[in-house]
Structure 1
Amino acid sequence: MTQIDPIALFRLSVLGPLISRPLQRGEFQQTLRELAGRTYAIPGSRRTRLSDKTIAGWYYLWRKDGIDALSPRPRRDQGQSKLAAGIQETILHLKRENPRRSLLQILQALESTGQVSRGTVSRSAIHRLLQRHGLSRPAGAASEPEEKRSFVAACAGAIWYGDVMHGPQISLHGKRRKVYLVSLMDDASRLITHSAFCLGETALDIEGVLKQALLKRGVPYKLVVDNGAAYRSGSLQGICARLGVVLLYCRPYTPESKGKIERWHRTFRAQFLSELDLRRIRDLDDLNARLWAWLEQVYHQRPHGGLEGLTPLLRYQQDLPRVRSLGPQAAQLDALFYHRETRRVRKDGTVSYLGQFFEVAYALAGKTVILVVDAHAGRVVAVESAAGEDLGRATPLEREANAHRQRHQPNSTDTAVADANDRTSLVEIAHQQYYGEEKA
């Protein structure tokens, strides 16, 4: 019996609600929208969403030719190139000459030398040609294979890994919300220094987990993370710099760079998510409470095959004298995680942050200031100038209290005298010049 293509089986499973029963009028589009709103483990892809047009296209293919039509169709021009023979030779020469040349660099070389007109050759065409000749990257067949060796850090705290895993959907305030598991792992001990389910995978979520890990497990010397925008945020880079942590980024398409935490994700799915009863989960705090209990009672207490039979907790405790503590910085840890936001003070002496208004010194009205904010608590801590000078506090705006507050008014008498002395009058100037009087 011929084996059915796994991708065809996946597509058929997606179509299940559309083909399992006759649909009533208008039900097709409604079901399409529901299917497009779900998340999927798509074979051979890191994406988790499908568009309604894609699902509809699969549906009509299935209606016409059954499950065989759901198998991926090879390109008709596979193994061929529409590029001119001379252009093909130039592309292959450029790649062999320097195997690290990217598709964009090759394309720029062709366009800058006038061999092709701008916009007439696509990078995908170049990629297919290189792939057919075994020269495409990241496969790396054009150069010597990169040496990769198994290693372990010398001691706990030497290297931490950070990563995000897509989690399940839970019900929050009557709505289904997807959660993300943000985790930090110690290389030498495999200990999870901290982990938490979050509603996103932003820099703020990652910083929140890092802050708790620092409080519980000390300060690492190196932190290895993904290349994503959240990890490249200026706030995270600043935190690591102030703590003396070297922040390292994995090269794209090299998941083996942090294989230990990737392997832990597999363990987590098999041992935690498979046993999790989502019907018992009331909110995000409830889910995290179960996560933390499982980490401390199960994962950290279980002998690990890569630790010569030791548990992650025991292996970590062996190196406690070598773990770098926060020391005096512990008292200033909140300040290390403060963000800075640029704002222009309104005419009424207020600034906005996260949809709320705060009052600052009225003398700052119309000026640009830096708000020092505790992003995790959603509050403004202080106001600074661009040079870091303290400009006072920011307090929540109380409009009702302001209705009864005595406002500062300039001294009217002083103002009148000043105006009289400073006023420029052509008549007075002529009088002074004609009679030789000097202005008092």
Structure 2
Amino acid sequence: MGLRQHRERREAPRDHQRSALVRDRQPSFHAPGALNGARQGETKVDRDLTEAIALHRWAVIAEAANTRLSPAQKGVVVRAIAAATHTHPDGTQRRYARGTIDRWIRDWRTKGLEGLRPRPRADTGVVRARPELFEEAVALRLEVPSRSAAQIADIVWHRHGLRVASRTLRAQLRRRGLHAEALAAEPRAFGRYEAEAPNDRWITDVLVGPWVPHPRVASSGRARLFLIVDDHSRLLVHGRFHRFENARAGQEVLRAAIVRRGLPVVLYADNGAPFSNAALARTCAVLGIRLVHSKPYSPEGRGKQERLNRFIRERFIAEAEHVGIEDWGELNDRFEAWAEQVANRRVHAETNQTPMARFEAPGPPRAADPARLIEAFRWSVARRVTRTATVSLESNSYAVDPALVGQRVELRFDPEDLTVIEVFHQGRAAGVATPFVIGRHTHRATPPPPRPDPPPTGVDYLGLVAAAHEAEVVGPISFSQMPLSGLGTEEAGQGTDGSEGAEGAR
């Protein structure tokens, strides 16, 4: 019976075989995402996932998207990216073809971050059958490594009656690392310890500062100095003291630095919470900045930052603590003046130039587009519209277009002002969200303003408690209750009427 069915499949008309090839082969040997259990029949792409995929694609192409690279240099970088393994937001390990990387670069240059979002497939809803064929091809190659792709395709044909192009098999086996020949060694791109030009690489860090106010009082808080340093010129691009070490504080310092000094090519940061978050990743992707996180225990690029931190502790923080610090505004104003007059105008021992002169030598920096700068520092979340045409954000409720009921939408907003929310659906503007119920005007992740010191009341609470305790223990004492042991002998020998006592009469 099995032989008869196999013979009938082999004698099928050519047009039927061709339709089976189109129906079965293409989905079976698709991109790695199709092999990792994509949900069938899914008609909506989760907005959170599309945002994560877009940021992931930017992280992959960021180094190759540098406009300063020559075509030859870009080819080296693209080949290195294609040979590397990348962790997809779904947790799988993937490799991308050079054509895919080039397409992503073109999409980003023409459409920005929106161009990197995954677009819905044209065949959404069509059953993607027979994904097990590729797994069988993998097993055949592992069983006998010398089997060629053409031989494996022939085995698949004899077993299943389906023709699969050997080129497709060869490409997919190569993507899995199961190609017959060894890959030629590709030149590896290493990071430089000094950038070639200003704004090629910025290094950011957080330095623990003094107590504010200082000398320390009950309301004092520990200051954190957010710093950005230009790798090439050693310029202190911008720095500001904040009370809280969070994502929004890092964004504020980066925004001020970009407005003052232009756009960097690379932002080099550690893996701390202020720099390892979705908000900063989105900011860098929108502005075309490559965000690079240092590896644990890797000192590359950290020497300049550590030396500057030591210089700030010795020359600024020590002096500020000596004279006293009244409030945050005074501390930041004095630091800005010190940075411009001292830190950026001293002759550096390695460059023999002042950081300011070395930074300004090539000419004006590349400025950011104002509209894109505003968009970059907004936050983005995904929400599903309820049946009453409302969405919720930070305990607030907003009314949206009734046509979006049941749809997954993206909300873009300034975390300092939750009264203005823009709505996007599938990457397109869909109006604004009208505030319906407002319980919070700012996002809870934004640092609250420092509370002013309350006026003194002059009440000594512990003194009041001590007085009450003393009154309770001692109490009122009459003269008759006083002990006689402390009186003199002469006073003890006389009676109350002045006469001598019994002993004296005798």
Which one scores higher on RCO, CA 8 angstroms, separation ≥ 6?
2
> How does the TM-score come out when normalised to structure 2?
0.44
Q: What's the TM-score once normalised by structure 1's chain length?
A: 0.50
